Amino acid sequence: MRAIRVASAALLTASALALTAPTASAAAVGEENVTAFGFSISPKTIAAGGQVTLNVDGCDDGDTKVTSGVFDDTTIPKGQKSATAQVFWDAKPGAMYEVTFTCNGSNPGSDKTDLTIATGRPDGSSHHKGVKAGIGGSLGGLDLHEIALGSALILGTLGTAYYKTRRRTGEGNS
Protein backbone atom coordinates (compact mmCIF):
# COMPACT_ATOMS: atom_id res chain seq x y z
CA MET A 1 0.00 0.00 0.00
CA ARG A 2 2.84 2.35 0.85
CA ALA A 3 4.48 1.70 -2.53
CA ILE A 4 1.34 2.85 -4.33
CA ARG A 5 1.26 6.10 -2.33
CA VAL A 6 4.96 6.75 -2.99
CA ALA A 7 4.56 6.04 -6.71
CA SER A 8 1.51 8.30 -6.91
CA ALA A 9 3.31 11.12 -5.12
CA ALA A 10 6.37 10.73 -7.34
CA LEU A 11 4.20 10.81 -10.47
CA LEU A 12 2.35 13.88 -9.19
CA THR A 13 5.66 15.64 -8.44
CA ALA A 14 7.14 14.76 -11.83
CA SER A 15 3.99 15.98 -13.60
CA ALA A 16 3.99 19.30 -11.77
CA LEU A 17 7.68 19.87 -12.44
CA ALA A 18 7.21 19.04 -16.11
CA LEU A 19 4.34 21.52 -16.37
CA THR A 20 6.34 24.30 -14.73
CA ALA A 21 9.41 23.82 -16.95
CA PRO A 22 9.70 26.22 -19.89
CA THR A 23 8.39 24.78 -23.09
CA ALA A 24 10.54 24.73 -26.18
CA SER A 25 9.10 26.11 -29.35
CA ALA A 26 10.18 24.87 -32.72
CA ALA A 27 9.83 26.84 -35.89
CA ALA A 28 8.12 25.07 -38.72
CA VAL A 29 10.57 24.07 -41.37
CA GLY A 30 9.18 24.60 -44.83
CA GLU A 31 10.51 24.40 -48.32
CA GLU A 32 12.19 27.53 -49.59
CA ASN A 33 11.38 28.95 -52.99
CA VAL A 34 14.12 28.48 -55.53
CA THR A 35 15.03 31.53 -57.62
CA ALA A 36 17.50 32.05 -60.45
CA PHE A 37 19.47 34.39 -58.20
CA GLY A 38 20.81 33.97 -54.69
CA PHE A 39 20.21 36.33 -51.81
CA SER A 40 20.86 36.60 -48.09
CA ILE A 41 20.63 38.98 -45.20
CA SER A 42 23.08 39.19 -42.33
CA PRO A 43 22.69 39.09 -39.50
CA LYS A 44 19.34 37.24 -39.52
CA THR A 45 18.63 38.56 -36.00
CA ILE A 46 19.32 42.22 -35.25
CA ALA A 47 18.46 44.75 -32.56
CA ALA A 48 16.18 47.66 -33.39
CA GLY A 49 18.27 50.47 -34.89
CA GLY A 50 20.95 48.08 -36.11
CA GLN A 51 22.37 47.79 -39.61
CA VAL A 52 21.88 44.74 -41.84
CA THR A 53 23.81 43.75 -44.94
CA LEU A 54 21.72 42.69 -47.92
CA ASN A 55 23.53 40.36 -50.34
CA VAL A 56 22.57 39.22 -53.83
CA ASP A 57 24.27 36.88 -56.29
CA GLY A 58 23.29 36.20 -59.89
CA CYS A 59 21.46 39.46 -60.58
CA ASP A 60 24.51 41.22 -62.08
CA ASP A 61 22.89 42.86 -65.12
CA GLY A 62 20.07 44.63 -63.30
CA ASP A 63 19.15 46.34 -60.06
CA THR A 64 17.86 44.39 -57.09
CA LYS A 65 15.18 46.04 -55.01
CA VAL A 66 14.93 44.97 -51.35
CA THR A 67 11.77 45.87 -49.43
CA SER A 68 10.60 45.29 -45.88
CA GLY A 69 8.38 46.86 -43.27
CA VAL A 70 11.34 47.19 -40.90
CA PHE A 71 13.67 49.38 -43.01
CA ASP A 72 13.46 51.78 -45.94
CA ASP A 73 13.37 50.27 -49.45
CA THR A 74 16.92 49.64 -50.61
CA THR A 75 18.34 49.14 -54.10
CA ILE A 76 21.43 47.07 -54.80
CA PRO A 77 22.70 48.70 -58.01
CA LYS A 78 23.59 46.76 -61.14
CA GLY A 79 27.03 45.15 -60.80
CA GLN A 80 27.12 45.34 -57.00
CA LYS A 81 26.67 42.40 -54.67
CA SER A 82 25.50 44.07 -51.46
CA ALA A 83 24.02 47.09 -49.73
CA THR A 84 23.22 48.02 -46.15
CA ALA A 85 19.97 49.09 -44.51
CA GLN A 86 19.22 50.63 -41.12
CA VAL A 87 16.51 48.85 -39.13
CA PHE A 88 13.89 51.22 -37.73
CA TRP A 89 14.28 52.12 -34.05
CA ASP A 90 10.65 51.33 -33.35
CA ALA A 91 10.89 47.74 -34.62
CA LYS A 92 9.13 45.43 -32.18
CA PRO A 93 11.56 43.21 -30.22
CA GLY A 94 10.96 39.52 -30.90
CA ALA A 95 8.99 40.21 -34.09
CA MET A 96 9.80 38.58 -37.41
CA TYR A 97 9.68 40.79 -40.51
CA GLU A 98 9.53 39.65 -44.12
CA VAL A 99 12.26 40.91 -46.47
CA THR A 100 11.62 40.69 -50.23
CA PHE A 101 14.40 40.61 -52.84
CA THR A 102 13.34 41.44 -56.41
CA CYS A 103 15.83 41.03 -59.28
CA ASN A 104 15.18 43.15 -62.40
CA GLY A 105 18.01 41.68 -64.51
CA SER A 106 18.18 38.77 -66.96
CA ASN A 107 17.20 36.41 -64.11
CA PRO A 108 14.07 38.25 -63.00
CA GLY A 109 12.26 37.02 -59.98
CA SER A 110 11.31 37.70 -56.44
CA ASP A 111 11.72 35.79 -53.20
CA LYS A 112 11.45 36.39 -49.47
CA THR A 113 13.33 35.69 -46.27
CA ASP A 114 12.75 36.63 -42.64
CA LEU A 115 14.54 39.09 -40.37
CA THR A 116 14.06 38.75 -36.61
CA ILE A 117 14.33 41.68 -34.23
CA ALA A 118 16.33 40.74 -31.16
CA THR A 119 14.95 41.25 -27.70
CA GLY A 120 17.39 43.68 -26.20
CA ARG A 121 17.41 46.40 -23.63
CA PRO A 122 13.86 47.58 -22.99
CA ASP A 123 14.82 51.27 -22.96
CA GLY A 124 15.94 51.10 -26.61
CA SER A 125 19.12 53.06 -25.97
CA SER A 126 22.04 52.50 -28.32
CA HIS A 127 24.89 53.82 -26.20
CA HIS A 128 26.53 52.27 -23.18
CA LYS A 129 25.56 53.88 -19.89
CA GLY A 130 27.83 51.85 -17.63
CA VAL A 131 27.00 49.04 -15.29
CA LYS A 132 23.33 48.52 -14.62
CA ALA A 133 22.97 47.68 -10.93
CA GLY A 134 20.01 45.83 -9.55
CA ILE A 135 18.72 42.30 -9.76
CA GLY A 136 21.17 41.08 -12.42
CA GLY A 137 22.72 37.66 -12.40
CA SER A 138 20.44 34.85 -13.37
CA LEU A 139 17.33 36.80 -12.38
CA GLY A 140 17.77 39.69 -14.81
CA GLY A 141 14.79 40.01 -17.15
CA LEU A 142 12.63 37.46 -15.34
CA ASP A 143 9.10 38.30 -14.36
CA LEU A 144 8.60 38.10 -10.59
CA HIS A 145 4.98 36.98 -11.05
CA GLU A 146 6.15 33.99 -13.09
CA ILE A 147 8.78 33.12 -10.49
CA ALA A 148 6.22 33.34 -7.67
CA LEU A 149 3.69 31.20 -9.56
CA GLY A 150 6.30 28.58 -10.41
CA SER A 151 7.55 28.50 -6.83
CA ALA A 152 4.00 28.14 -5.51
CA LEU A 153 3.30 25.24 -7.87
CA ILE A 154 6.51 23.45 -6.92
CA LEU A 155 5.98 24.01 -3.18
CA GLY A 156 2.37 22.86 -3.45
CA THR A 157 3.42 19.72 -5.27
CA LEU A 158 6.16 18.94 -2.78
CA GLY A 159 3.79 19.58 0.13
CA THR A 160 1.17 17.29 -1.38
CA ALA A 161 3.77 14.60 -2.01
CA TYR A 162 4.98 14.88 1.59
CA TYR A 163 1.45 14.73 2.96
CA LYS A 164 0.58 11.67 0.85
CA THR A 165 3.74 9.74 1.70
CA ARG A 166 4.36 10.48 5.35
CA ARG A 167 3.75 7.75 7.83
CA ARG A 168 0.76 8.64 9.96
CA THR A 169 1.04 7.70 13.56
CA GLY A 170 -1.86 5.73 14.93
CA GLU A 171 -3.31 4.96 11.49
CA GLY A 172 -3.41 1.22 12.00
CA ASN A 173 -3.50 1.17 15.83
CA SER A 174 -7.14 2.02 16.53
Q: Tens-of-pLDDT digits for all 174 residues of the chain?
A: 566 766 666 666 666 666 665 543 333 333 344 556 788 898 899 898 899 999 888 887 888 899 999 999 998 888 888 899 999 998 888 889 999 988 887 767 888 899 999 886 544 454 455 555 555 555 556 678 888 899 999 999 999 888 888 866 555 555
H or E segment and range at residue 4: helix 2-20
Q: Per CATH, which fold does 38-117 belong to?
A: Immunoglobulin-like (2.60.40)
Three-state SS for 17? helix
Residue 19: the pLDDT is 61
* Among candidate residues 157, 59, 149, 61, the one with its CA nearest the CA of residue 111: 59
Nearest 5 degrees, angle CA 4-CA 10-CA 15?
125
* Among candidate residues 159, 161, 53, 54, the one with its CA nearest the CA of residue 111: 54
- What pairing do the DSSP bridges indicate for beta strands 51-57 and 82-86? antiparallel
Domain ranges (residues) in the chain: 38-117
